[in-house]
Amino acid sequence: MSDELGLAPLDEVDMRLLEDLRETVDRLDPCPAGLPDRVKFALTVQALQAEVAELIGRPMALTRGGDEEPDQTMTVTFSTDSVSIMVTVGPAGDGTARVDGWLTCEADEVQLARPDGTSETAAVREGRFVFAAVPTGPAYLVVHPPGERTVITPTFTL
Amino acid sequence: MLTDDEPDVGLADDPPSLGDRAGACFHRYREGQDQALGELVDLATPLLWNVARAHGCDREQAEDVVQDVWIRLVDRAADIRDSGAVLGWLVVSVKRESWRTARVSRRTTYDPTGTVDPGETEPGPEVATILTERQQLLWGAVNELSERCRQLLRIVAFCDRPDYDEISAALSMPRGSIGPTRGRCLDKLRQSLAADERWEDR
């Protein structure tokens, strides 16, 4: 295949040098680890033509690393001009978490979405929604208020 | 050294290349599987990052350029006739946008190194703490090469071999010419390393 393009074939030494170079560049000037997830989030916002809610309370929720024991319940609030969403996340300690949420707008359901594109849906009853046991990890909420712009929260860690 | 135990380079049963896998994801995305777009982002973003960095963007600019090009891909998904060409489309788009971005910033900020890469990855004291000795020797030798070679090798290192069509497009070279150029760059690198007694082939 390379011959028909007039390419000199690579030998073993070339291949190893390129491998070494790749590892070297990855150490010295790595692609930021969060970049693919940020790209995916931007694409979701664009696809939904959504309004991104602002994180109001507990900015620690966004910066909390994976190393820390996620054993504490945390509460975060997200807000746009028209909607506030408050969520309390209580890790169960078995790799799942319970998410209790409250909404200030009309909506039939709330979506809990993941950077990998999967999502789960919970019904909203009187402004309240619950995800009883969802896998821990990065996630964001998507709300479709009828007749209004879709609202999406920044990614937070369950 | 080639032995019978080691697989030959370029067999027909090679695993699918980055370009093939990217094309398959894009095809699935266009068939309506939204998740495939996320897989495509995971696959191609590291290469695109390196294309942007090799074309003069600083880290922040590279991040913006890569993100903008992804958004554009979704906007213009219909314009790409062949799903298999998506990696080439992304690489070319990132290269063009990187040039544009880097040119604008060069006009507004003085870059004392005068290199395509604004200094951040030049060998410096911090390199010794991040890299193994072998990597330091290699990086030193790479930085002795021409700008063209540095660009080419950095990008080739993040591609799979069957994807050179995409690379040649990215670097605006006629398809046949990437091989000899790549060969020359690698030859120079090997000569320079061979002349260094601290370097050992592994």
Confidence at B191, pLDDT banded by 50, 70, 90 = very high
Q: Are A13 and A19 in contact (CB under 8 A)?
A: no
Say how far apart CA B168 and CA A5 lie, in whole Å.
11
SS3 state of residue B178: helix
What pLDDT was estimated at residue B7?
Answer: 42
Q: How many CA atoms lie within 13 A of A38 on its CB side?
A: 13
Say how far apart CA A101 and CA A81 lie, in whole Å.
18
| Higher local confidence (pLDDT), A60 or A85 | A85
From chain A, the residues in CB contact with B161 under 8 A are 2, 10
Q: Are B173 and B164 in contact (CB under 8 A)?
A: no
Query: What range defines the domain where residue A88 resides?
Result: 35-157
DSSP assignment of B55-123 equals TT--HHHHHHHHHHHHHHHHHTGGG---GGGHHHHHHHHHHHHHHHHHHHHHHHS--TT-SSS-STTS-
Mind telling me how many Å the CA of A55 is from chain B's nearest CA? 22
From chain A, the residues in CB contact with B140 under 8 A are none
pLDDT in tens, B26-73: 999 999 988 899 999 999 999 999 999 998 899 999 999 999 999 999
Closest CA to B139 of B171, B117, B169: B117
Instruction: Specify the pairing of strand A138-143 against strand A109-113.
Output: antiparallel
User: Can you tell me the mean pLDDT for B94-111?
Assistant: 79
From chain B, the residues in CB contact with A20 under 8 A are 134-135, 138
What pLDDT was estimated at residue A128?
Answer: 95
Q: Is A151 within the bounds of a domain?
A: yes
Q: Is A114 within the bounds of a domain?
A: yes
Nearest CA in chain A to B156: A18
Token digits of residue B102? 């880097």
Confidence at B177, pLDDT banded by 50, 70, 90 = low
ipTM surpasses cut 0.90? no
What pLDDT was estimated at residue B180?
Answer: 62
Angle at B6 between CA B3 and CA B9, to 5 degrees: 110
**8 Å CB contact of A43 and B53:** no
**8 Å CB contact of B189 and A17:** yes
**8 Å CB contact of A36 and B1:** no
pLDDT in tens, B17-39: 999 999 999 999 999 988 899 99
Q: Is A39 within the bounds of a domain?
A: yes
- Report the residue from A6, A9, A35 with minimal CB separation from B9: A9
Q: Is A20 within the bounds of a domain?
A: no
> A35, A41, A116: which to substitute to probe chain B, counting the most B Cβ within 10 Å?
A35
What pLDDT was estimated at residue B36?
Answer: 92
Mind telling me how many Å the CA of B46 is from chain A's nearest CA? 6
Residues near B130 by beta carbon (within 8 Å), at least 6 away in sequence: A27, A28
pLDDT in tens, B105-159: 776 655 444 444 444 445 566 777 888 889 999 999 999 998 888 888 898 899 8
Of all residues in chain B, the percent with pLDDT exceeding 90 is 42
Residues near B139 by beta carbon (within 8 Å), at least 6 away in sequence: A24, A28, B123, B127, B131
Say how far apart CA A24 and CA B158 lie, in whole Å.
11
Confidence at B179, pLDDT banded by 50, 70, 90 = low
In chain B, residues 71-90 whose CB comes closer than 8 Å to chain A: 71, 74
> What number of C-beta contacts closer than 8 Å exist between A and B?
132
Count of domains in chain A?
1
- If residue A55 lies in a helix (H) or strand (E), which one and from where to where? strand A54-55
> A11, A15, A43: which to substitute to probe chain B, counting the most B Cβ within 10 Å?
A43
Q: What is the CATH number of the domain that holds A80?
A: 2.60.40
From chain A, the residues in CB contact with B183 under 8 A are 8
From chain A, the residues in CB contact with B35 under 8 A are 116-118
